[in-house]
Amino acid sequence: MPSSDPLATLDLAPKQPSYPWYFAERPSLVHGISDKYLSLILPIICYWGLSTVYHFLDEWQHPFFEKYRIHEPEEVTKRNKVSKTRVVAMVLVQQLIQTALGIFVLEDDEVVHKQVFADHKAHIRSIGVSLARVVVNIFGMKQGMQMLTAFGTGVGEWIYWWGVPIAQFALALIVMDTWQYFWHRAFHQSRFLYRNFHSHHHRLYVPYAFGALYNHPLEGLLLDSLGAVVSHTLSFMTVRQGILLFAFSTLKTVDDHGGYAFPWWIDPLHLVFPNTAAYHNVHHEMQGLRYNFSQPYFIVWDKWCGSQMNPEKFKELKAQRARKSQAYQKSDDKVAGTGAGECQSSAVSAGAQASIAFDGLRKRDVAPKEIVDAVRDPFVTTDPGEHHAKAGTNAPS
């Protein structure tokens, strides 16, 4: 007896699947190299390729690009505590480790072949069944069937070829950001982890492009390499999707350490993602070590966990601290140039006043706020509202 349910006979699979431009129905995306090994080699090519572009800009020092440079060229040699030769060597070590990890965990050619030559028509048909039930539940049987007959096949194909991959890619970025934020923050909050591992990366007070992956090898394995593997796995990506994920994440990491605060029309990544080179640079500054842990895409975890610092506000706080330091120095010089009697009768220097106030607190138990008020460091506060005002951020709702 035939079913009375129209959905039982509805087939939204196309007669012949129309493959999108990005899909290549062949054993490997690039002739002569498997997709697995392409996913491991391409990120390395992207890393050194984009780094070379930034290095060329550093050496060229053209006025047009120099106006977007975050640090002066001489700061690279004056402030950084590691040679470029060692940076290159350690990056190569990390890339060797991540390649070995990829060879071990990524699927082999047999799995890739099954993914590429899968029954795509059957998968689209399965999506069509779910789509049909959703549409009928929303619009009713009569109108729903009319809509499905007219547009169902096209919508099903779009979901399969575009909707699902886009959702997978977005999920992978979220997983990667989450993994890196909490591990990165842990490497700062643990004195042992920072001193023995993460401090290597922060020898680059002035970051540059090819130092993006300069880390202690164990940190690089845990934070970057395993983070990419976890993101790829939890988003159920194919090996070919991993090629895009790994290469794109590498480009973004290099871009964040490039040292240029380019506008979006030069660097479109700054338009799409709020975690920019200027944002991450705050974290590499001595006063910004406890801020902007998020990387490499979004800043939502910084916002939710109270570690966000707006780059422009950071500049203002640095300038405020510099002015205060200069005022202290001038006042101290003035006191040093007077006689002992004059020193006692004249106004005590601003620096001496702060020192006296702080020494007085040592004689009794005090609250943190009293110490903050005595020291008056513009970067320090115990009040959450004042913190968000200084950092130029909004309190999480």
* Inside any domain, residue 317: no
Kindly report, residue by residue over 325-358, the tens digit of the pLDDT. 676 666 656 655 655 445 444 444 445 555 555 4
What single letter denotes the amino acid at residue 328?
Answer: Y
In this prediction, residue 21 has a pLDDT band, given cuts at 50, 70 and 90, of: confident
Beta-bridged to residue 33, according to DSSP, are 30
In this prediction, residue 210 has a pLDDT band, given cuts at 50, 70 and 90, of: very high
Selected residue with higher pLDDT from 331 and 82? 82
Decide: 211 and 87 in contact? Cβ < 8 Å: yes
| Number of domains present in the structure of the chain | 2
* Inside any domain, residue 153: yes
Residue 81 shares a structural domain with residue 190: yes
Domain termination residue (choose one: 305, 335, 354): 305
Work out the angle at residue 207's Cα, subtended by the Cα atoms of residues 381 and 209, and round it to the nearest 5 degrees.
Answer: 145
Residue 360 shares a structural domain with residue 297: no
Residue 50 shares a structural domain with residue 186: yes
* Inside any domain, residue 285: yes
Tell me whether residue 353 is exposed, middle or buried, using C-beta atoms within 10 angstroms of its C-beta: 0 to 12, 13 to 18, 19 or more: middle
Domain termination residue (choose one: 256, 275, 305): 305
Decide: 71 and 211 in contact? Cβ < 8 Å: no
Residue 79 shares a structural domain with residue 203: yes
Residue 296 shares a structural domain with residue 369: no
Give every CB contact of residue 172 below 8 A, 6+ residues apart in sequence.
231, 232, 234, 235, 237, 245
Residue 112 shares a structural domain with residue 200: yes
Kindly report, residue by residue over 211-262, the tens digit of the pLDDT. 999 999 999 999 999 999 999 999 999 999 999 999 999 999 999 999 999 9
Give residue 391's pLDDT. 58
Can you read off the two tokens belonging to residue 111?
Answer: 């799995």
Domain termination residue (choose one: 271, 305, 339): 305
Residue 198 shares a structural domain with residue 347: no
Q: Give percent above pLDDT 70 in the chain.
A: 79
Give residue 350's pLDDT. 47
pTM to 2 decimals?
0.82
Q: Is the pLDDT of residue 389 over 60?
A: no
Helices (H), 80-152: 84-105, 109-116, 120-139, 141-147
Can you read off the two tokens belonging to residue 241?
Answer: 């999707």
CA atoms within 13 A on the CB side of 17: 21
* Inside any domain, residue 182: yes
Tokens 């290095």, residue located: 55
Give residue 378's pLDDT. 58
Residue 26 shares a structural domain with residue 167: yes
Residue 158 shares a structural domain with residue 121: yes
Residue 47 shares a structural domain with residue 130: yes
In this prediction, residue 363 has a pLDDT band, given cuts at 50, 70 and 90, of: low
Decide: 217 and 93 in contact? Cβ < 8 Å: yes
In this prediction, residue 380 has a pLDDT band, given cuts at 50, 70 and 90, of: low
What single letter denotes the amino acid at residue 9?
Answer: T
Residue 264 shares a structural domain with residue 339: no
* Inside any domain, residue 162: yes
In this prediction, residue 77 has a pLDDT band, given cuts at 50, 70 and 90, of: confident
* Inside any domain, residue 310: no
* Inside any domain, residue 263: yes
- CA-closest candidate to residue 292, choices 201, 346, 303: 303
Query: How many Å apart are CA 26 and CA 45, to the nearest integer?
Result: 23
User: Which domain does 374 fall in, by range?
Assistant: 324-391
Residue 51 shares a structural domain with residue 166: yes
* Inside any domain, residue 196: yes
Give residue 344's pLDDT. 47
Decide: 231 and 245 in contact? Cβ < 8 Å: yes
Q: Is the pLDDT of residue 1 over 70?
A: no
